[in-house]
Structure 1
């Protein structure tokens, strides 16, 4: 049996009772560590060891995408848990796990939890008034993708809010010439987590190029930081205001950004509680 267990957003203590009971039956417990991050990996490790006496195995990108057969092979003969920050089905990676297990005749049990997809309601914006969710990747000198701008436009045209999920770069291999020449294949770059100000700035740059009016300097948005944790922070203002916020104001990862559509009176009252 393969258990896909959501951990929620706030930390190790947000795992459900049902999730903990499932872990009791497992011989191996993996923590997926690249589609999101847990506030404290050590906290979860301690919890698993304290209550179940089991080692918590970190499942990085290589293991999840290239070594997944190892996990599925184990799940074919014993109970295995894959712990996922947020909800298991909020990343396509885990849907792929589910389908591959089913194809092999392996039983799968999904234990849901809170994710940014529903916790974004903490902004005061109604969930039923959200349109398509978009992902905003880091710009590079040679790569400035903007296909998500069209989805933002569709949402705006329909007066809907847009949740922007921001890029996470973890365990990226170094392609520096000196590392390649030395044959070093296990050198990784420092993890990077996109902030709401960076996302706002990139949207403004795309708007300047496209000129459709979907992400102007005056477009209203909400910076959403560390939702579900004790240090949760929200900041409501224009894209320009958010793009100019100092990182110390919003704090560390994880960040998301919401571009508002048509805002109702009750929503506005909630938003103004966190006005910049």
Structure 2
């Protein structure tokens, strides 16, 4: 059996009791380390708590070479740990499909997700979100405009946009870096983004949430990762009031 277990948002206390029971009964435990990371924990702390070995997986291990995961799941109980909720990432859905094609039984134990945490922390209503997007760090001769296109399309439809910021092995994109990259993409055009919401360390005891213009947010110290951006559409009066109270928004 292959059991997908969500670890939640920030530290080892976020996992569900169901998830802990699955780990206790697991023969093999894998930890996916590329879509999200628990900044309040690390693999060594997990091994100490769970008292079991944990195999760390990179993107290629899941997307290109999943055979060790599937082989282990054919003969024993395999737990596949992910930050947040397991099925927010399409790469995990693909792994579940592959398991099904090989007659491997699967199960999902959900965890708290940034998808819902963004709504709770910002007060932006969940049914008003459009398509989300990700901002990657630019590479040589590669600086995709797709994130900006998604944001502007949502704004035109009066929808909010969740903007995921790049996570790499040795660096984590900040709110400030995300805003800077969007502004570079808008250079030479009449496009504007009037309001940003920056969120840092969702799920921790002291998350930071701040709303304002790009200039205003550049003066906010969001502190350590993980960070995420939200670009709102036109605010409902309750959303505006919530941002004023909990995110320092000054229209």
Residue 136 of structure 2 aligns with which residue?
A: 137
- Indicate if the aligned counterparts of 1:225 and 1:234 stay in contact, CA closer than 8 A: yes
Residue by residue over 1:168-218, the C-alpha shift from the partner in whole angstroms, topping out at 9 and shown as x without a partner, is: 112xxxxxxxxxxxxxxxxxxxx11110111111111112244333x2xxx
Residue by residue over 1:123-158, the C-alpha shift from the partner in whole angstroms, topping out at 9 and shown as x without a partner, is: 111111111111111123522111122211221011
CA distance in 1, matches of 2:231, 2:207: 18
Partner of 1:223, secondary structure, is strand
- Indicate if the aligned counterparts of 2:158 and 2:233 stay in contact, CA closer than 8 A: yes
CA distance in 2, matches of 1:197, 1:141: 21
Normalising by structure 2, what TM-score? 0.92
Residue 226 of structure 2 aligns with which residue?
A: 254
Is 2:160 the counterpart of 1:195?
no
- Indicate if the aligned counterparts of 1:101 and 1:107 stay in contact, CA closer than 8 A: yes
Residue 220 of structure 1 aligns with which residue?
A: 195
Residue 106 of structure 1 aligns with which residue?
A: 104
Partner of 2:80, secondary structure, is strand
- Indicate if the aligned counterparts of 1:132 and 1:162 stay in contact, CA closer than 8 A: yes
Partner of 2:37, secondary structure, is coil
1:72 maps to which of 70, 73, 76: 70
Q: Runs of 4 or more off by more than 3 Å in structure 1?
A: none
Q: How many residues matched?
A: 245
Question: Computing the radius of gyration over CA atoms, which structure comes out larger, 1 or 2?
Answer: 1
CA distance in 1, matches of 2:156, 2:32: 37
Residue 164 of structure 1 aligns with which residue?
A: 163
Show structure 2 runs of 5+ residues with no match.
none
Pairwise CA RMSD: 1.5
